[in-house]
Amino acid sequence: MKRRWLALAGFTCLLYGTDSSTDGKRWWSHILYLADDKLEGRLTGSEGYRKAAIYVAGEFERAGLKPGGTSGYFQPVKFKSREIVEEGSSLALERNGAKEALRLGEDATISMRVDPAVSVEAPLAFVGYGLTVPELKFDDLAGQDLRGKIAVYMSGGPSSIPGALSSHYQSAEERGVFLERAGVVGTCAIANPAAMDVPWARSALARFQPAMSLNYPELDKSFGLQISATINPSHLDKWLAGSGHTADEILALAKERKPLPHFSLDGRLNAKTEARRTEVESPNVIAILPGTDPKLKDEYVVLSAHLDHLGVGRPINGDSIYNGAMDDASGVATLLDIAEQLHEAKPKLRRSLIFVTVAAEEKGLLGSKYFATNPTVKREQIVADLNVDMFLPLFPFHILTVYGLDESDLGRQVRAVADPLGIRIQRDLEPERNIFIRSDQYNFIRQGVPSLFFKVGYEKGSPEEGIAKKWLKERYHAPSDDVNQPVDLKAAADFNRMMLLLAETVANQTARPQWDQDSFFRRFAKNGD
């Protein structure tokens, strides 16, 4: 592997890298700062986030990058924040005049992503995956009168719908349009055991974290939803009672990603919700490395990562600080490491690079949505997004999983960079986890910008898969995603080098990246192709 790096450095003209970049220690030093307990988990709107933003701006400046925000390196973003007051909240199933109270946190949780009405009482309908995919004429919402009802659905989708399409139509924004059209007043999503990253008990604890939305009316649609809840699949039978269907049946079908039935449910849901509402502000932190080509310098390649994490929450094993070392201090550290390597080697890049670290990814990709819809350079000048979020260098880097690989020119460019390094490229092994829409690249995609997203990859059934799965189960969105976990620094350094070479390749390529002719995401492209 090492020899291949040197050979590659030869043909890119520059021998990059001091020891501190090649051994991963500089990358790790940024994580040590950002994921320190003192930053209290970098919750959007918090003092810890403010410290992190100041640190990143300082590092951008040290690396010789130009400010790219609206106020120096900062682009302030306003958010509404909501926290549940569970003492004043309840869910109950009402059948034949009898009410069965549900246990919040055990049977179900109330989500604050949807701004809840104080009280909702409505009949329930089971709508399969709750998916509408017009181009496949697939519609789980058809055939039942859903007006005024609460739609109960299994998260995920059937295997008949290709991954990208399925992911796209499972996004809150796409679902919302069809739910509103059908007259649905609320949703109850069944957590799909086949796609759950973390055990129910831990994901249920997250219900006490504040939910946020952008505090700009044009960017904050509610789609007429008054309540949104998540159902624990272990207690699904309570909801299905009297319907003629069982949890075992539904879960078995969902596990195989088979089509699900549609049927009305017996009874009504009574939901009462008390919420504490505040307004907060946090900046995206943005910096520019100007390109040198007289024409192409007005085009920008985005390198993005999210600076926020979950803050301070319910303790797990006595620790209440959710440090977010891998999620996503690691991606921010990659951007900083790339900026420093470029500062040291000073290559001439034809296009400009714009480094965008965003707020409120954990709150529904909000900071990136704000940047992508209100960019600090002209929208049509943004030609690509390379997003780095929790790439998980937990074992040596030989395989790169690329999300969006088959969608645009960028897929061929990443192959051209990885092949000489001996890194094998693979596509998404688990489309059912919806990873392609679960990080900030998705907001760029929605603006028509070809994008890629990356993870250190593994083969199915390998020991590395075991390590990655164990990490998700034990550390993902837990306080133990901190600086006291084993990380493969060499893998991180190798990954960072690959990202740097990819950024250079995209910046220097004469042709602007384009969506492939047959890419589903091409529909968002506005640049006339």
Give the interface with Zn ion as residue ranges (CB under 5 A). 327
- Residue 528, Ramachandran bin (φ over 0: left; ψ between -120 and 50: alpha; else beta): left
Least separation in angstroms between CB 362 and Zn ion:
5
The DSSP-derived string for 385-398 is: EEE-S-----S---
CB 366 within 8 A of CB 79: yes
Bridging pattern class, strands 319-322 and 66-67 = unpaired
d(CA 441, CA 446): 9
Least separation in angstroms between CB 488 and Zn ion:
20
Least separation in angstroms between CB 390 and Zn ion:
7
Q: Which of 310, 340, 342, 354 is nearest to 444 (CA)?
A: 354
Least separation in angstroms between CB 34 and Zn ion:
14
Q: Which of 170, 176, 175 is nearest to 195 (CA)?
A: 170
b/e code 414-436 from CB counts within 10 Å (16+ = b): beebbeebebebeebeebbbbbb
Q: Which is nearer to Zn ion, 328 or 407 (CB)?
A: 328
Q: Which is nearer to Zn ion, 327 or 440 (CB)?
A: 327
CB 329 within 8 A of CB 309: yes
Length of the chain: 529
Q: Which is nearer to Zn ion, 328 or 494 (CB)?
A: 328
Least separation in angstroms between CB 7 and Zn ion:
37
Q: Which is nearer to Zn ion, 286 or 365 (CB)?
A: 365
Q: Which is nearer to Zn ion, 327 or 407 (CB)?
A: 327
Least separation in angstroms between CB 19 and Zn ion:
31
Question: Which residue's C-beta sits nearest to Zn ion?
Answer: 327
Q: Which is nearer to Zn ion, 59 or 327 (CB)?
A: 327
Phi, psi of 359 (to 5 degrees): -90, 160
d(CA 110, CA 114): 9
**How large is the C-alpha radius of gyration of the chain?**
23
Q: Which of 397, 406, 410, 505 is nearest to 455 (CA)?
A: 397
Least separation in angstroms between CB 327 and Zn ion:
4
Q: Which is nearer to Zn ion, 306 or 446 (CB)?
A: 306
